[in-house]
A and B are shown apart, each in its own frame.
Chain A
Amino acid sequence: MNDKGKIVTGLVIFAAVVTFPFWYNLGKAAPPPEVVLTEKAKAAGECVLPKEEIRAEHMQLLDVWRDTQVRDGQTVYINAKGKAYTMSLSNTCLDCHSNYKDFCDRCHVYASVDPYCFDCHIDNPKEGE
Chain B
Amino acid sequence: MERSRREFLKIAGASAAIGLGARPVIEAVAAATGHQAAPEAQVAHHPEALKATRWGMVVDTRKIESAEQIEKMVEACHQEHNVPMLEEERHRIKWIWETHFHNAFPSQSTDRVSEHLEHILLPVMCNHCENPPCVRACPTKATFKRESDGIVMMDFHRCIGCRFCMAACPYGSRSFNFRDPQPFIKEVNLKYPRRMKGVVEKCNFCEERLALGQMPACVEASKGAIVFGDLTDPDSEVRHVLRENFTIRRKQNLGTEPCVYYIV
Contacts and interface: CB of A to CB of B under 8 A. Distances in A.
B30 to A, nearest CB: 18
A71 B188 CA distance: 24
A80 B39 contact: yes
Interface in A105-129: 116, 119-124
Contacts of B188: 123
A66 B194 CA distance: 15
A75 B211 contact: yes
B146 A73 contact: yes
A99 interface: no
B40 A74 contact: no
A80 B188 CA distance: 34
A90 B190 contact: yes
B157 to A, nearest CB: 6
Interface secondary structure of B, over-half rule: loop
Interface in A58-83: 66, 68, 70-80
Candidate in A74, A75, A84, A120 with the most chain B CB atoms within 10 angstroms: A120
B149 A120 contact: no
Given A80-B38, A124-B182, A73 B45 contact: yes
Contacts of A80: 38-41
Given A71-B144, A73-B207, A121-B193, A66 B42 contact: no
Nearest to B194: A120
B170 to A, nearest CB: 25
A120 B46 contact: no
Contacts of A78: 41-44
Candidate in A72, A73, A79, A87 with the most chain B CB atoms within 10 angstroms: A73
Contacts of B33: none
B66 interface: no
B212 interface: yes
B105 interface: no
B45 A90 contact: no
Interface in B191-238: 191-196, 207, 210-212
B79 to A, nearest CB: 16
Contacts of A71: 144, 146, 153, 155
A76 B157 contact: no
Contacts of A123: 188, 190
Contact of B211 (A73, A79, A90, A116): A73
Nearest to A76: B44
Nearest to B195: A120
B193 A120 contact: yes
A121 B190 CA distance: 8
A78 B47 CA distance: 13
Interface of B: 38-47, 49, 144, 146, 148-149, 153, 155-157, 182, 188, 190-196, 207, 210-212
6 contacts: A71-B144, A74-B45, A75-B211, A77-B42, A91-B191, A120-B194
